[in-house]
Amino acid sequence: MAMRMQLTLTSNIRQGQGDPKKHSTLTRCAVHNSEFLSSHTPTLVRQFNPKIPIEEAVTPPTSWYTHPSFFHLELHRVFYRGWQVVGSTEQIKDPRDYFTGRLGDVEYVVCRDDSGMVRAFHNVCRHHASLLAYGSGKKSCFVCPYHGWTYGFNGALLKATRISGMQNFNVNDFGLSPIKVATWGPFVLLNLEKVTLSQEVDYHNVSKEWLGSCSEILSTNGVDSSLSYVCRREYTIECNWKVFCDNYLDGGYHVPYAHKGLASGLKLDAYSIAMFERVSIQSCEGSLEKSKENYDRLGRKAIYAFIYPNFMINRYGPWMDTNLVVPLGPNKCRVIFDYYLEHSLKDDTDLIEKSLQDSEKVQIEDIVLCEGVQKGLQSPAYSVGRYAPTVEQAMHHFHCLLYENLIQ
């Protein structure tokens, strides 16, 4: 059964405030001014050839993982286009809840208004550009910490302080710039590109655009809203965001060498990889014989879904965790882990503590690997690598998708 989806374009235009053209232009400028992108970035993109079959292909060159212009190109062509996961509905469970974040240069705030509708805006005051909200929490309105301009949860400018004498000023033209927002299951998505004047939105399209033919597969494999939210863990890693993704997409290749504890609970010879439009799914059966203890956590089948470009959903036994890889710079990213558990186990503190400890151990092992790879990529000794064709198909698929995205 397809999952219920909610989508909103929070806009002052909808509320009949101000000049629609003015608002849409402002928002477009915020994410589409790519003139500064250097002219040699297309050359960098073409250093990888997606047409070469995996058996003969070389991996993208080091410049893809280290070059500042390439990183800027990725922000503009990859992250400022299409649907991007930014958080969990848990963060905006009730009306007046909000959370803030940053993707590339875009500062955003996501909130739930009094009617229960999820809305998102550029988190920038229209007076002198101060960030408006910080962190997360609950508020009845957004008061700018600089000079007190105040905005409602619909983005409208409710109060502009000390503006007597200001001419040609209409508060209706100075609401927050809206961002298109949707939810799928427990995930909150933003689309920084599409600010359309038409308010008609096809809800099913979001699911299709984001997951393609995979939305049903994920729903039927227990990726849904029925799980209980447990907690969040964040790790800042000194590596390019793609190094973390590549590590995730090697088909379990590194598991026996780098995660010996995890390897004992998985039947690595039963690893399978399936690729879809923008999603790849790696699955692995739990190994009952090898370790009863690990089997309890990993269950019969572990599913690792990678959703291009930077979101991973791991469903194993009673657990689901998601990994959001936020690019922070050519050599830095932050990975946000959200943990969910089957409702019947949500009070089993022993299980939760043990599982989180096991998971943390794996994350730390991966962080060491990823930071080691980034250092290696920066070394003059390395330029391109090769793929192990039987296990690294999902990684190759990821690089091909990225190429297509960057070349357009």
Shortest spacing between CB 244 and ligand FES, in angstroms: 35
Residue 103 site contact among ligand FES, Fe ion, none (CB < 5 to 8 Å, cut-off depends on kind): none
Rounded CA separation 303/313 (Å): 8
Q: Which CB, 148 or 389, lies closer to ligand FES?
A: 148
Rounded CA separation 243/261 (Å): 22
Residue 261 site contact among ligand FES, Fe ion, none (CB < 5 to 8 Å, cut-off depends on kind): none
Identity of the amino acid at 333: C
Residue 366 site contact among ligand FES, Fe ion, none (CB < 5 to 8 Å, cut-off depends on kind): Fe ion
Residue 149 site contact among Fe ion, ligand FES, none (CB < 5 to 8 Å, cut-off depends on kind): ligand FES
- Tell me which DSSP letter residue 131 carries: B
Q: Which CB, 169 or 203, lies closer to ligand FES?
A: 169
Residues contacting 348, CB < 8 A, separation 6+:
none
Closest by CA position to 401, among listed 78, 47, 42? 78
Closest by CA position to 273, among listed 297, 295, 293, 249? 249
Q: Which CB, 147 or 204, lies closer to ligand FES?
A: 147
Q: Which CB, 78 or 249, lies closer to Fe ion?
A: 249
Shortest spacing between CB 359 and Fe ion, in angstroms: 11
Q: Closest residue to Fe ion, Cβ-based?
A: 366
Q: Which CB, 31 or 125, lies closer to ligand FES?
A: 125
Residue showing tokens 């469970």: 93
Residue 127 site contact among ligand FES, Fe ion, none (CB < 5 to 8 Å, cut-off depends on kind): ligand FES
Whether residue 306 contacts residue 247, with contact meaning beta carbons closer than 8 Å, is answered with no
Residue 128 site contact among Fe ion, ligand FES, none (CB < 5 to 8 Å, cut-off depends on kind): ligand FES
Residue showing tokens 């995205």: 405
Shortest spacing between CB 308 and ligand FES, in angstroms: 36
Please, how many CA atoms are within 13 Å of residue 139, restricted to the half-sphere of its CB? 21
Residue 130 site contact among ligand FES, Fe ion, none (CB < 5 to 8 Å, cut-off depends on kind): ligand FES
Shortest spacing between CB 23 and ligand FES, in angstroms: 18
Q: Is the peptide bond before 309 cis (omega within 30 degrees of 0)?
A: yes
Shortest spacing between CB 179 and ligand FES, in angstroms: 19
Residue 125 site contact among Fe ion, ligand FES, none (CB < 5 to 8 Å, cut-off depends on kind): ligand FES
- Tell me which DSSP letter residue 386 carries: B
Neighbours of 68 (CB within 10 A): 11
Q: Which CB, 246 or 366, lies closer to Fe ion?
A: 366
**CA angle centred on 124, ends 121 and 125, rounded to 5°:** 115
The secondary structure of 24-81 as a DSSP string is: HHHHHHHHH--TTS-TTHHHHHTTS-TTS-TTT-BPPPTHHHH-HHHHHHHIIIIITS
CB-based burial label for 179 (10 Å; 0-12, 13-18, 19+)? buried
Q: Which CB, 74 or 366, lies closer to Fe ion?
A: 366
Shortest spacing between CB 401 and Fe ion, in angstroms: 21
Beta bridge pairs of residue 324 = 311, 336
Q: Are strands 266-275 and 178-184 parallel, antiparallel or unpaired?
A: unpaired
Shortest spacing between CB 150 and ligand FES, in angstroms: 9
The contact set with ligand FES (CB under 6 A) reads 125, 127-128, 130, 144, 146-149
Q: Which CB, 149 or 184, lies closer to ligand FES?
A: 149
Shortest spacing between CB 113 and ligand FES, in angstroms: 21
Residue 343 site contact among ligand FES, Fe ion, none (CB < 5 to 8 Å, cut-off depends on kind): none
Q: Which CB, 176 or 336, lies closer to ligand FES?
A: 176
Shortest spacing between CB 123 and ligand FES, in angstroms: 11
The contact set with Fe ion (CB under 5 A) reads 366
Rounded CA separation 265/355 (Å): 13
